[in-house]
Amino acid sequence: MKKSIIACAVQQPCNRGRETNLAYSISQIEAAAKQNAELVVLPELHLDHYFCQSEDTDCFDMAQTIPGPTCETLSQAAADNRVVIVSTIFEKRAPGLYHNTAVVFDKDGSIAGTFRKMHIPDDPGFYEKFYFTPGDLGFKPIATSIGKLGVLICWDQWYPEAARLMALAGADVLIYPTAIGWNPDDEQDEKQRQLDAWITVQRGHAVANGLPLIACNRIGYEAAPDQANGIQFWGNSFIAGPQGEYLSHADDQQDTLLTAILDPKRSEDVRRIWPFLRDRRIEAYGELVKRYID
């Protein structure tokens, strides 16, 4: 990233149907461009309701190829508005082979690169292992006209290894499209602990790597297919600086466009005073590749 840029995160509900969801995303991209933004991040799987609340083979019909119809629409939006767009799409790679895939569109509308979600959860209400094959593209930043984007997806955000590898590969910013929320039956103090943990771990990645970070979540209640429980997506999207400081932060209700300036000089200055990459003891980290140390 050679210069400061304006970055935006679109916090939106995704329970209105594919056409309406995508139209709203496009409207927010246009709004961001009017604010001179050069980067717009959309929530995880923003096209559809969060279908992973149950295991249903019919949901595979929602997947599409990359490139495909949505790529064509977002490519045009990127070119029309001269912005870089980060989207995530339910990718049909081959019969029986599907991924949760981030697609980055450059300002000219070209696909700059993709990232397939690496860490796949399997929890009540989040049955993603049924749908998504783990990614096979590694932790490689995507080069764009505005810099190298370290794009990761949701569950990847809990893993310091993923953020570190993106940083070591030259990422200028860490980006996390997300779909995460509460079980409405949980007690309020438990909900707060979960939210605080989610925010804290990501701000920690910004600090540990001296990089700005964008976390973009959806909002709103989405019922489960059996109408039991469902998920209340908790929003709280934010953009943080390289010391984890908030540059912009939404609440759990706002249907909003977050905006912040990302300054590469700020990252350079922070890394000079907190030289974590310099002081890493790489010769002592070999056992990190083990599942567990007995």
Output the pLDDT for position 228: 74
What percentage of the chain has pLDDT greater than the value 70? Answer: 100
Output the pLDDT for position 225: 86
Angstrom distances, CA of residue 119 to CA of 36, 90, 123: 34, 15, 13
Angstrom distances, CA of residue 160 to CA of 36, 182, 209, 274: 32, 23, 10, 17
Backbone angles phi, psi at 23, to 5 degrees: -60, -40
Instruction: Name the strand (E) or helix (H) holding 149.
Output: strand 147-151
List the catalytic residues.
44, 117, 154
| Average pLDDT value for residue range 236-253 | 97
Rg, Å, the chain Cα set: 18
How do residues 194-215 score in pLDDT, each as one tens digit? 999 999 999 999 999 999 999 9
Output 28 or 124, whichever has higher pLDDT. Answer: 28
The answer to whether residue 283 sits within a structural domain is yes
| Average pLDDT value for residue range 54-81 | 97
On average, the pLDDT of the chain sits at 97
The answer to whether residue 113 sits within a structural domain is yes
Q: If pLDDT is split at 50, 70 and 90, which confidence band does 226 have?
A: confident
The residue type found at 118 is M
Output the pLDDT for position 279: 98
Domain enclosing residue 52, as ranges: 5-289
3 state DSSP class of 123: strand
| Average pLDDT value for residue range 152-177 | 98
Give the number of C-alpha atoms closer than 13 A to the C-alpha of residue 195, restricted to the C-beta side. 21
> Do the beta carbons of residue 104 and residue 113 sit within 8 Å?
yes
Other C-beta atoms closer than 10 Å to the C-beta of 275 total 11
Q: Residues 39-76, buried b or exposed e (16+ Cβ, 10 A)?
A: bbbbbbbbbbbbbbbeeeeebeebbeebeeebbeebbe
Output the pLDDT for position 229: 83
How do residues 26-36 score in pLDDT, each as one tens digit? 999 999 999 99
Q: If pLDDT is split at 50, 70 and 90, which confidence band does 13 have?
A: very high
The Cα 158–Cα 177 span in angstroms is 13
Q: How far apart are the first and last CA of the chain?
A: 42
pTM of the predicted structure, to 2 decimals: 0.97
Output the pLDDT for position 167: 98
The answer to whether residue 227 sits within a structural domain is yes
The answer to whether residue 190 sits within a structural domain is yes
The answer to whether residue 294 sits within a structural domain is no
Tell me how many domains the chain contains: 1
What is the CATH classification number for the domain harbouring 143? 3.60.110.10
Q: Indicate if the pLDDT at residue 227 is higher than 80.
A: no
> Do the beta carbons of residue 30 and residue 22 sit within 8 Å?
no
The answer to whether residue 153 sits within a structural domain is yes
The answer to whether residue 80 sits within a structural domain is yes
